[in-house]
């Protein structure tokens, strides 16, 4: 059994965060485990409260898993504060975690801050050097690089800058571009674009979480980075094409439990 761990926040309405990650891991035929960093009171319309867990229980969750189970890949999502980032970094280094995918979650689709602004520095210093793959969206890439990004050329430049900050492979996601949804991968000093038509739907709650978890699941299976990103792009395209209204706001992606059975990958 392939085993994948998510370290992220809980989304009470199940569209993003830990819940989206575990659904993605299952849909891709892997066994999912979770370390919860924060609990959000959230629905399709907004985030109404956030409670961070303390560093001790975050550290103990990570230790409990690594001292007993071999982890094939780790996805990191909402990390909330600098203190939590330091704890996660120390614990993953100590346990020699492999295949780490960092989704530098900063703001929810509904506009609520999920990373304290002062934690930006810790995210760059601690988490980027641990990342086999980092998956910023346009806004997150702008915050990390302190540049404006609106074109594919600017996405490529940002990807190189983020690689220089320590992340081995960088995917700047184009979900918020105008026109097609094109993601830019910078890997081994080369660019590759992963494009798809834009699905005309307002229901994109959890797209970033789903995409980064799908990359982690494929890395866990031993896929090279480029192939892992290609498969994740295929999976998220289908998950968005079948996203659906839930509640009165931004609905979630759909996870295909037949995907793994049908494709066996
Ligand atoms: N409307 C859409 N149609 C097709 N693909 C999309 C759409 N929105 C986002 N994506 C894809 O979903 C993935 C997540 O991207 P994005 O929504 O930018 O991330 P985030 O949730 O972090 O803001 C990327 O692969 C992106 O290209
Ligand atoms: C707990 C949690 N983590 C992450 C997101 C970001 O969601 P998205 O994948 O839509 O960017 C969220 N809304 N809530």
Residue 261 lies inside a defined structural domain of this protein: no
Helix (H, G, I), strand (E, B) or coil at 150: coil
Q: Does residue 260 fall inside a structural domain? A: no
The encoded tokens of residue 203 equal: 């229901």
Q: Is the CB of 183 under 6 A from ligand 1?
A: yes
Q: What pTM was estimated for this model as a whole?
A: 0.97
pLDDT tens per residue across span 7-28:
999 999 999 999 999 999 999 9
Tell whether ipTM is more than 0.85. yes
Question: How many domains is the chain partitioned into structurally?
Answer: 1
Please report whether residue 263 resides in a domain.
Answer: no
Q: How many helices (H) and strands (E) does the chain have?
A: 9, 9
List the residue whose alpha carbon is closest to atom 2 of ligand 2. Answer: 17
pLDDT in tens, 220-246: 999 999 999 999 999 999 999 999 999
CATH number at residue 241: 3.40.1190.20
What dihedral angle (degrees, nearest 10) is formed by the CA atoms of 10, 49, 210, 244?
Answer: 120
Q: Is the minimum distance from the CB of 79 to ligand 2 under 6 angstroms?
A: no
Structural domain containing residue 11: 3-255
Give the pLDDT confidence score for residue 261 in this predicted structure: 66
Question: Does the C-beta of 37 come closer than 6 Å to ligand 2?
Answer: no
In which band, very low, low, confident or very high, does the pLDDT at 257 lie, cut at 50, 70 and 90?
Answer: confident
183 C-alpha to ligand 2 centroid (Å): 18
Q: In this structure, is residue 67 part of a structural domain?
A: yes
Give the mean model confidence (pLDDT) for residues 101-109.
96
User: Which residues, 6+ apart, have CB-to-CB distance to 79 below 8 Å?
Assistant: 7, 8, 37, 85, 88, 105, 115, 119, 123, 127
Nearest CA to ligand 1 atom 11: 175
pLDDT at 240: 96
Q: In this structure, is residue 265 part of a structural domain?
A: no
191: CA distance to ligand 2 center in Å?
A: 27
Q: Which residue is catalytic, options 14, 24, 174, 209?
A: 209
Domain assignment present for 129? yes
Neighbours of 59 (CB within 10 A): 17
Residue 204 annotated as catalytic = yes
Tell which residue, 218, 150, 159, has the closest CA to residue 193.
159
């Amino acid at each position: 059994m392939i085993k994948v761990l998510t370290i992220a926040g809980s989304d009470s309405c199940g569209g993003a965060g830990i819940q989206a990650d575990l659904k993605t891991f299952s849909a891709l035929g892997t066994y999912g485990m979770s370390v919860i960093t924060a609990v959000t009171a959230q629905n399709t319309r907004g985030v109404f409260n956030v409670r961070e867990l303390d560093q001790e229980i975050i550290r103990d969750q990570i230790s409990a898993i690594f001292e007993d189970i071999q982890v094939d890949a780790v996805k990191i999502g909402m990390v909330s504060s600098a203190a939590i980032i330091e704890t996660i970094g120390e614990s993953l280094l100590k346990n020699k975690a492999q295949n780490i995918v960092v989704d530098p979650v900063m703001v929810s689709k509904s506009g609520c801050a999920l990373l304290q602004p002062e934690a930006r520095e810790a995210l760059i210093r601690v988490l980027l050097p641990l990342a086999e793959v980092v998956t910023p969206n346009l806004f997150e890439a702008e915050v990390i690089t302190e540049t404006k990004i609106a074109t594919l050329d600017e996405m490529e430049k940002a990807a190189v800058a983020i690689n220089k900050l320590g992340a081995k492979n960088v995917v700047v996601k184009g979900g918020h571009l105008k026109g097609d949804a094109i993601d830019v991968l910078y890997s081994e000093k080369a660019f590759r674009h992963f494009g798809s038509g834009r699905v005309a739907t307002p229901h994109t709650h959890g797209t970033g979480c789903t995409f980064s978890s799908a990359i982690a699941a494929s890395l866990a299976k031993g896929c090279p980075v480029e192939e892992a990103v290609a498969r994740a792009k295929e999976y998220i395209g289908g998950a968005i094409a079948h996203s659906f209204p839930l509640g009165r706001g931004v609905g979630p992606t759909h996870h295909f439990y037949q995907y793994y059975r049908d494709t066996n990958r």
